[in-house]
Amino acid sequence: MNDDYNDNDMDEEPIPTGELTLQTLAMPADTNPNGDIFGGWLMSQMDLAGSIKASAIARGRVTTVAAGSMAFLRPVPVGSTISCYAEILEIGRSSIRIMVDVWLYAAETGERYKVTEGTFVYVAIDDNGRTRSIQLSR
């Protein structure tokens, strides 16, 4: 048991988990009719972040085979900086399961908050697109 853990500190000031893997700016071309960023655009950024992390672990080409459910907690306004944090959940023989958290930074207010999270599964593939084993260094 960790002696530093304090049950009272949970969720008082949430912070991103995982490693900052991708950071980008939400642009006007990516908006819906209400002027907020499309959820599909956000999901594609998450997939990119997860694949960057998975490719590094697999030491090569990977393909996305699954994306878990997501709940969009807040809309993302144009001009926001979004940061995708990737955390390895599991490494199998040829697959990698990664949790991607998305955080938004609003420059005008200095506010930072979580927008969404999702689990993505990637499979290592060879140059012919066939599944290959992941060789982990020891």
Give the model confidence (pLDDT) of 74-113 as tens digits: 999 988 999 999 999 999 999 999 999 999 988 788 888 9
Structure tokens at 128: 């012919």
Averaged pLDDT for residues 124-129: 95
Q: How many domains does the chain have?
A: 1
Per the domain annotation, does 137 fall within a domain? no
pLDDT band at 4 (very low <50, low <70, confident <90, very high): very low
Residues of the domain holding 75: 7-124
For position 44, which CATH number holds? 3.10.129.10
Give the separation between CA 66 and CA 53, rounded to whole angstroms.
15
Specify the pLDDT at position 79.
87
pLDDT-wise least confident of 3-7, 48-52, 56-60, 73-77: 3-7
Instruction: Write out pLDDT tens, residues 12-32.
Output: 557 888 999 999 999 999 999
Per the domain annotation, does 87 fall within a domain? yes
Give the separation between CA 20 and CA 5, rounded to whole angstroms.
24
Per the domain annotation, does 136 fall within a domain? no
Residue 7 pLDDT more than 50?
Answer: no
